[in-house]
Amino acid sequence: MSNKVLLSSKDLSIGYGNKEILKDLKLEIKSGDVICLMGPNGSGKSTLLKTFVGLLKPLKGEVKILGRILKDLDHKELSKLVSVVLTERGNINGLTVEDIVRLGRFPHTNMWGKLEEKDRRIIKECIELLNLESLKSELASELSDGQLQKVFIARALAQDAPLIILDEPTTFLDISNKMELMAILDRISKARNKALLFSSHDWELALEMCPKVWLIDSTNSVISGTPEEFLYTGVIQKLFMHERFYLNNNNGRFCELKERTQKLKFKCDNSVVTEWVDHALSKIGYKIESEADLSVVFYENKFKVEGGAEFQSLSDLLDYLKLR
């Protein structure tokens, strides 16, 4: 697998009109890369992606794709180098899954859009790679968000460009679809030697699944690295700094800062239960301590307040504690 540079940028500034959103961008994408573009909402992720796709013009500096300057490429040339999955869906009423994937062959077919043997083969492969065979003839308007996202990825893949750019591909997906999608992106980059750049505001997803992250930092520039690196250098803390949150160094998650003034003694053999009960108690300002006036015992899945009532569930216990 070669590691040639697909896309590079130098002194790049992007934005709309006179408004500069990101500046001094020095970035590089190599083939086989899977890169997550991370940043808070409204930080300019879409703007950067749209610039790379050629939908927006750079304000300053240049972007090179396979050694050629982006603004010198015409629409047709660019479409063979970069394909895109956007958050918009167009008017897909009446189109089947296969119809949409077929449209990905637009830059490769003749004036009448006639599909050759090669086009058909690629369309079939893309549908297979995303496990869409069973949905092939379904109407796209009747699919779930997760399925539709896969259809549009298959379409981008059928375009057969070395770089695929995805704008917020996981945003409207539930957790299992998110995981599946990330696995698919990984599979695409390996099976087809494609580079993928996708945006997300989901820090936990990036931390969990992405080895390479571009982080939009507080100076409106982009730094490239691994999420873990951003954690131990403190970049991420600075970026998402908020008086109500702190970064939990054990798991890299942002947690709410809670005032835990009340104390509670909790007796339980199971450390997992203890840990999650403590987590629940934090939401109502309680903290488990070894010494406290109030003591709760956990046995046979019930909570017994010493010298008081017995509760069947944790939420009942919380209700009781809140009223105290």
Binding site for another protein (CB under 8 A): 53-55, 74-80, 82-84, 86, 88-95, 99-100, 103-104, 106-107, 109, 111-113, 159
Strand order across the beta sheet in which 19-30 lies:
19-30, 5-16, 60-65, 68-69
CB of 197 to another protein, least distance (A): 14
Quote the least distance from Cβ 319 to another protein, whole Å. Answer: 40
Vertex 208 angle, CA 253 and 237, to 5°:
35
Closer residue to another protein, CB minimum distance, 84 or 296? 84
| Minimum gap (Å) between residue 2 Cβ and another protein | 25
Instruction: Between 84 and 195, name the residue whose CB sits nearer to another protein.
Output: 84
Nearer to another protein, 1 or 111 (CB): 111
Kindly tell me which of 76 and 324 has the beta carbon lying closer to another protein.
76
Measured from the CB atom, the residue of 130 and 318 that comes closer to another protein is 130
Q: Which residues of 193-213 are buried (b: 16+ CB within 10 A; e: fewer)?
A: ebbbbbbbbbbebbbebbebb
- Residue 283 C-beta: closest distance to another protein, Å: 37
Shortest separation between residue 254's beta carbon and another protein, angstroms: 33
For the CB of residue 111, give the shortest distance to another protein in the complex, in Å.
6
C-alpha closest to that of 58 among 14, 101, 99: 14
| C-beta of 113 vs 285, nearer to another protein | 113
State the DSSP code for 44: S
Q: How many CB atoms lie within 10 A of CB 133?
A: 11
Alpha-carbon dihedral sign for residues 70, 76, 81, 84: positive
